[in-house]
Amino acid sequence: MKIIITESQYNKYKHLFEQSVYDDEENDSNDDYGNEEYDTKEGMTIEGEINSLPVKFTYSEMKENEDGEIEYYGEIRFYGDEYLGVIATDKRGYLLVFDFYSTLSDEDVRLQNVLKEMGGYYEFEHWLDSKVIPSIKD
């Protein structure tokens, strides 16, 4: 019997597929499942487009707070500028807030303010929710 599953289902249950009755012979266990570090994704880049302009997020690290909030740190390149900052989510992975500041400007230039002025704030939030967070969370 063949069972057909989607790629997301495979990724979710990958540890079960990799572990089999023959593992005892090879003495190969999957003890590290669930202990993966988010830092293994350090340097991962997710690209997109906001207001027909290219945007790129490069992941650097993750921190989980005591209240279950998760912070993903990284760099965003957008509209000829580089921004460093954080994307905060709840424990389920839903976007709470993001805050990025320009590294190229001497003034306090925030990405969220630039996006509001350009009319791309909500498009950017959607990109974070649909592309960036799932990519670095899974």
**Which amino acid would we find at residue 72?**
Y
**Other C-beta atoms lying within 10 Å of the C-beta of residue 87:** 24
Q: What is the value of pTM for the model shown?
A: 0.69
Per-residue tens of pLDDT for the chain, all 138 residues: 556 666 666 566 665 555 544 444 444 444 444 544 445 788 999 999 999 999 999 999 999 999 999 999 999 999 999 999 999 999 999 999 999 999 999 999 999 999 999 999 999 999 999 999 999 986
DSSP-derived secondary structure for the chain: ------HHHHHHSHHHHH--TTHHHHT---TTTT---GGGGTT-EEEEEETTEEEEEEEEEEEE-TTS-EEEEEEEEETTEEEEEEEEE-TT--EEEEEEEESS-SS--BHHHHHHHHT-HHHHHHHIIIIIHHHHH-
Distance CA 138, CA 133 (A): 8
